[in-house]
Structure 1
Amino acid sequence: MLQEIAEQLPLSERKIAQYIIENPHEAIRCTANELGELSSTSASAVIRLCKSAGLSGFQELKLRVAGDIRNVSETSFSDIQPNETQDAIVQKVTNSSVRALQETAEILNYEALAQAVLALQQAKSIHFFGIGASAVIAQDAQLKFVRINRFTTAHTDFHTSAMLVSKSSIDDVVVGISFSGETYEVGKMLELAKEKGAKTISLTSYGLSPISEIADIRLYVSAKQEEVFRSAATSSRLAQLHLIDILFMCVLTSQYDESIKQLDEVRIGVNFVKQHTSLRK
Structure 2
Amino acid sequence: MKSKHVHYRVKSIYDDLTRSERKIAQLVLNEPEKVIKMTASELAKASDTSPASVIRFCKSIGIPSFPDLKLQLSAEKDAPVVQQYTDISPDESPEDIKNKLLGNAYQAMKETIQLVDDETLTSAIQLISAAPFIYVYGIGSSYLVAENIAQKFNRIGKVCICQPDVHLLIASLTSAPERTLFIGVSNSGETSEVLALNDLAKSRHLHTISITQFGANSLSKQADLSLQTVKSKEAELRSAATSSLTAQFILTDLLFHTYVLKNYDENMASIRTSRESVDQYKQQTTKKNSKFRQKYKTNKNKA
Cα deviation code 1:77-105 (max 9, x no counterpart): 22111222212111111111111112112
Q: C-alpha distance in 2, partners of 1:105/1:117?
A: 16
CA distance change for structure 1 residues 32 and 103 in 2, over 3 Å: closer, same or farther? farther
Partner of 2:204: 196
**For 1:266 and 1:27, how far apart are their aligned partners in 2?**
56
Segment of structure 1 superposing worse, 55-64 or 135-144:
55-64
User: Secondary structure of the residue that 1:61 maps to in structure 2?
Assistant: helix
1:150 to 147, 152, 158: 158
User: Aligned residue for 1:86?
Assistant: 94
| 2:170 pairs with 1:159 | no
- 1:174 deviates by 0.5
1:70 Cα deviation from its structure 2 partner: 1.4
Deviation by residue 1:220-263 (Cα, 9 ceiling, x = unmatched): 10142232233882010010000010110111101112111211
Instruction: Specify whether residues 64 and 146 from structure 1 end up closer, same or farther in structure 2 by C-alpha distance, changes over 3 A only.
Output: farther
The within-5 A match list for 1:44-59 is 46=54, 49-55=57-63, 57-59=68-70
Q: Does 1:252 align with 2:263?
A: no
* Cα pair distance change 1:160/1:201, threshold 3 Å: same
- Structure-2 change in CA distance of 1:53 and 1:25 (3 Å): closer
Match of 1:275 among 239, 263, 283: 283
CA contact (8 A) 2:214 2:229 kept: yes
Cα displacement string for residues 94-127 of structure 1 (whole angstroms, at most 9, x for unaligned residues): 1111111121122212222111111011110111
Show the counterpart of 1:234: 242
Partners of 2:60 and 2:215 within 8 A in 1: no
Comparing 87-96 with 228-237, greater Cα deviation is found at 228-237
Q: Which moved more, 1:38-47 or 1:115-124?
A: 38-47
Q: With the length of structure 1 as denominator, give the TM-score of the two structures.
A: 0.88
What is the rounded CA distance, in whole Å, between the counterparts of 1:205 and 1:9 in structure 2?
A: 15
Instruction: Answer yes or no: is the 8 Å Cα contact 2:125–2:255 preserved in 1.
Output: yes
**How many residue pairs align between the two structures?**
277
Contact map agreement 2:32 2:73 (CA 8 A) in 1: no
Q: Counterpart in 2 of 1:187?
A: 195
Counterpart contact for 1:127–1:173, Cα < 8 Å:
yes
Aligned to 2:27: 19
Aligned partners of 2:216 and 2:247: how far apart in 1?
18
Q: What TM-score, normalized by structure 2, do the two folds share?
A: 0.82
**TM-fit CA distance, 1:10:** 6.1
8 Å Cα contact 2:233-2:240 kept in structure 1: no
Give the Å deviation of 1:51: 4.1
Tell me what 2:37 maps to: 30
Q: Are the structure 2 counterparts of residues 60 and 128 from structure 1 closer, same or farther at C-alpha, using a change threshold of 3 Å?
A: farther
In the alignment, the residues of structure 1 paired with residue 32 and residue 69 of structure 2 have an alpha-carbon distance, to the nearest angstrom, of 15
Listed one character per residue, the Cα deviations across residues 45-86 of structure 1 (whole Å, up to 9, x for unaligned) are 54553344223612343157636x7133xx222211122221
Are the counterparts in 2 of residues 55 and 61 from structure 1 also a CA contact under 8 Å?
Answer: no
Match of 2:119 among 100, 107, 111: 111
**Alpha-carbon spacing, 1:51–1:184, altered in 2? closer, same or farther (3 Å):** closer
C-alpha contact 1:170 1:197 (8 A) present in aligned 2: yes
Question: What is the SS of the residue equivalent to 2:228?
Answer: strand
RMSD over aligned CA atoms reads 2.5
Partner of 2:138: 130
Corresponding residue of 1:77: 85
Greater Cα offset, 58-67 or 256-265: 58-67
Partners of 1:145 and 1:152 within 8 A in 2 = yes
SS at match of 1:233: helix
- Read off the aligned partner of 2:189 and give its amino acid letter: G
Task: Look at both structures and tell me which one has the larger radius of gyration over its CA atoms.
Answer: 2
Alignment partner of 1:120 is 2:128: yes
Contact conserved, 2:212 with 2:227, CA < 8 A, in 1? yes
What CA distance in whole angstroms lies between the structure 1 residues aligned with 2:157 and 2:20? 50
Q: Call closer, same or farther: CA 1:110–1:49 in 2, change over 3 Å.
A: farther
Q: Deviation at 1:209? A: 1.0
